[in-house]
Structure 1
Amino acid sequence: MELLISMRRSTLGIALFAAVTAGVIAVTQVMTRERISQNQQEHQARALYEILPRELDDQLHRQSILISAPELGFAEPITVYQSIQNNEVEAVILPAIAPDGYSGDIRMLVGIWRDGRVAGVRVLEHKETPGLGDKVELAKSNWILSFDDKAMDSSNDPRWRVRKDGGDFDQFTGATITPRAVVRAVARTVQFYESRRPELLTPATEQDAHLTVSGDES
């Protein structure tokens, strides 16, 4: 009988400990998720204004549209930021994913001027090898700046490859997969811009007004 009582107490203690531990883990996950989300948003805001400085448009982070972009690998609609001057979109910044990085997805922002030239590219998140693939970060090297003012002549423009593949972009010593993946992703984003130019260059305010009118009529 004493053994049975002891076993019950032990079981109850273990169950109580497990419940408390699970609760602590759940609360920690919620708090961590919110903090991570906030940090990601702040990082993205900084990247936006690295591509298009605030002196050009300090309202950039507030001017955006939602569009579908399965061609870029996004299952859900993406947020596209618009730099609007005198009621015209002078540049857009789109999210991009390089799914073929050495260690997985490389997430970026790609800025494109109205005329199709690249305004700038910034990497937001990656898991590439430190000292090799991580040179796609501006903090580690200036390589990412090689996209600035580049344009694409056609969908198969041979210049949009790393030098090892006959293109204009340098690869890293000992690491070709990462820069190759980034170049491909940026090229896809420029092609996407060209294919959706009218929609992307319609100011958010006009698109909102159109949606409002359509909703009233229905």
Structure 2
Amino acid sequence: MQNTMLRNGLLLGLFALICTALVAAVNLMTKETIVEQQQQQLMNILHQIIPDTLHDNELSQTCTLLHAPESLGTTRPLPAYIAMKNGQPVGLAIEAVAPDGYNGEIQLIVGVRNDGTVLGVQTLSQQETPGLGDKIDSHKSNWVKSFAGMVYNSQNDKKWHVKKDGGDIDQFTGATITPRAFTKALRNALRYFEANKAAIYRQPLNCEVSK
């Protein structure tokens, strides 16, 4: 009886060891592919929100980390990708977080010129209610695309609120919390950029070093 239990225990242990080894092997083999896919997805997004005609550098290679919890919505350092033309910064793509979405954090990225003109906005991740709050996803609606061409500066800050709060930004029927949180995060990021662009451009390109 004891021999049978011992044998079964050894077999279970061996089975668990083999399964663990297989999972580790699969992770190792797919890790590089996953990184490449993530890099390609990032490149696609950056090209969508900052036109190629605006810069002559590789955006993913001119990345700096920003730590501004009150402005960017998280204690985590977030990347900003600097657009350069003839060696001079002309704008950047900056990530931000809306911590107060209806169902949790909303991660977004905005491309903006030095004069405050928004070049494009994309939602990076969200868990908002399907059919309502998930309209912040560009695959669900064109809402985020409506920000392109708008100009942010400290004088028109009040306009950068949803209409229910006295601003110019459209909200969703039956879902105000999500667009309000998204717009707040976007507004805060643009305000931060306006106040700190010179300092941001002086920062070291350190995203790769941080990994």
Is the TM-score greater than 0.5? yes
* Residues 116, 153 of structure 2: 8 Å contact kept: no
SS in 1 for 2:164: helix
Partner in structure 2 of residue 213 of structure 1: none
Identity of aligned residues (%): 40
- Tell me what 1:134 maps to: 134
Query: 2-side partners of 1:104 and 1:161: how far apart?
Result: 20
Specify the SS of the correspondent of 2:120.
Answer: strand
Q: Is the 8 A contact 1:146 1:169 kept in 2?
A: no
Please give the alpha-carbon distance, in whole angstroms, between the structure 2 residues aligned to 1:34 and 1:99: 31
Equivalent in the alignment of 1:80: 80
Superimposed CA distance per residue, residues 42-81 of structure 1 (whole angstroms, 9 cap, x where no aligned partner): 2221111111122332523332333433331344443321
Q: Does the 8 Å contact 1:44/1:124 carry over to 2?
A: no
Partner of residue 36, structure 2? 38
The one-letter amino acid of 1:62's match is Q
Distance, in Å, in 1 between the alignment partners of 2:111 and 2:161 is: 19
- 2:78 touches 2:95 (CA, 8 Å); kept in 1? yes
Structure 2 residue identity aligned to 1:149: G
Rounded Cα–Cα distance in structure 2 between residues aligned with 1:35 and 1:174? 41
Question: Is 2:15 the counterpart of 1:17?
Answer: yes
Q: Deviations over 1:114-169 (max 9, x none)?
A: 11222221111222222222211222211102222323343893222112222211
Aligned residue in 2 for 1:66: 65
Give 1:51's aligned residue. Answer: 49
Contact 2:91 2:112 in 1 (8 A): yes
Structure 2 unmatched runs, 5+: 206-211
2:197 pairs with 1:180: no
In the superposition, relative to structure 1, how do residues 153 and 94 fare at CA in structure 2: closer, same or farther (>3 Å)?
closer
* Bigger Cα Rg: 1
Q: 8 Å contact 2:120–2:145 — kept in the other structure?
A: yes
Residues 34 and 105 of structure 1: is their aligned pair in 2 closer, same or farther, counting only changes over 3 Å?
A: farther
Q: Which amino acid aligns with 2:200?
A: L
Runs of 4+ displaced beyond 6 Å: none
Contact 1:92 1:200 in 2 (8 A): no
What SS class does the counterpart of residue 97 from structure 1 fall into? strand
Report the Cα offset of residue 6 of structure 1. Answer: 1.1
Partner of 1:8 in structure 2? 6
Tell me the amino acid that sits aligned with residue 151 of structure 1: V
Amino acid paired to 2:5:
M
In the superposition, relative to structure 1, how do residues 56 and 151 fare at CA in structure 2: closer, same or farther (>3 Å)? closer
* Structure 1 spans left out of the alignment, 5+ residues: 209-218
Indicate how the Cα distance of structure 1 residues 157 and 54 shifts in structure 2: closer, same or farther if over 3 A, else same: closer
CA contact 1:81–1:92 (8 Å) conserved in 2: yes
Q: Measured at CA, do residues 73 and 31 of structure 1 come closer, stay the same or move farther in structure 2, by a change above 3 Å? A: farther
Change (3 A) 1:201 1:15: closer
Cα RMSD, aligned residues only: 2.5
1:43 partner letter: Q
What CA distance in whole angstroms lies between the structure 1 residues aligned with 2:120 and 2:176?
21
Q: Which amino acid aligns with 2:163?
A: R
CA distance in 2, matches of 1:65, 1:149: 25
Distance in 2, Cα, partners of 1:82 & 1:161: 26
What TM-score, normalized by structure 2, do the two folds share?
0.83
Equivalent in the alignment of 1:211: none
